Amino acid sequence: AQTVTQSQPEMSVQEAETVTLSCTYDTSESDYYLFWYKQPPSRQMILVIRQEAYKQQNATENRFSVNFQKAAKSFSLKISDSQLGDAAMYFCAYRSANDMRFGAGTRLTVKP
Amino acid sequence: DTEVTQTPKHLVMGMTNKKSLKCEQHMGHRAMYWYKQKAKKPPELMFVYSYEKLSINESVPSRFSPECPNSSLLNLHLHALQPEDSALYLCASSHPRGQTNTEAFFGQGTRLTVV
């Protein structure tokens, strides 16, 4: 079974600074997708960024970028120019077929 | 329309009650999911429907009964629940794998309390 591991239960960053959230996963499949989702206190799960495993280029969405290392099964999220609105729970997710699994999450605090 | 709509937003039910959670999407997604989320924990997969057929059941107790009447609707029927079943229940939908835009879209969830 696929597993997703987030080893940082909590992270803190100063406003306007950069922070990196870590995620590793375990799979025997070659075709899969990886995501970062954000869940603020409103509890709505919001997609931050997606990465297809067959793409070598790291995905980027405005201030959010990933470092995808397929051989190492690592998928970290970098948030640049952190804003107060980035404070939330961040979940790394793995999808193969119709089976989407989440890591334990990292709670990000942004300090003004 | 990129919304997944869940009703009700909050539900309090007794252990002998029967209730249903509803989920609706109009994005043409043919994969729909139920997740259970306890406080400060990640969502745990319960059920997956693909093309209106149940494709994954994560050994969920039979007091939870999913139903997918058509490609836009997903229900979760609840009966004889236990207090430990109190949680946030999230519905999600996505295109089946192999298509573009493979991310799942989530509803805002139903906060369920079993008394």
Residues B2-61 pLDDT 10s: 699 999 999 999 999 999 999 999 999 999 999 999 999 999 999 999 999 999 999 999
pLDDT at A1: 66
- State which amino acid sits at residue B83: P
Which chain B residue has its CA at the smallest distance from A49's CA? B103
Concatenate the DSSP letters of all residues of A31-76 into one string. S-EEEEEEE-TT---EEEEEEETT--SPPEETTEEEEEETTTTEEE
pLDDT on residue B100? 57
Statement: residue B62 has pLDDT above 70: yes
Q: Does A28 touch chain B (CB under 8 A)?
A: no
Please enumerate in sequence order all residues whose Cβ is within 8 A of that of B99, keeping only pairs 6 or more positions apart, or say none: none
Task: Name chain B contacts of A42, Cβ cutoff 8 Å.
Answer: 108
CA-CA distance, B92 to B98, in Å (whole number)?
A: 18
Dist. CA B58–CA B78, nearest whole Å: 16
pLDDT digits (tens, 9 = 90+) for B67-82: 999 999 999 999 999 9
Closest Cβ opposite residue B108 in set A35, A43, A47: A43
Regions in chain A scoring below 50 on pLDDT: none
> Is there a contact between B48 and A101 if contact means CB atoms under 8 Å apart?
no
Mean pLDDT of the region B90-103: 79
Select from B34, B50, B102 the residue whose CB has the most chain A CBs within 10 Å, as the one to mutate to test that interface: B102
- Which of B103, B108, B110 to mutate to test binding with chain A, by most A CBs within 10 Å of its CB? B103
Identify all chain A residues contacting B108, using CB atoms and an 8 Å cutoff: 42-44
Q: How much is the average pLDDT of B84-97?
A: 92
A91: contact with B, CB 8 A cutoff: yes
Residue B101 pLDDT level (bands cut at 50, 70, 90): low
pLDDT of residue A56: 87
For A107, A109, B34, B35, B108, the CA distances from B23, given in Å and listed in that order, are: 28, 32, 9, 12, 10
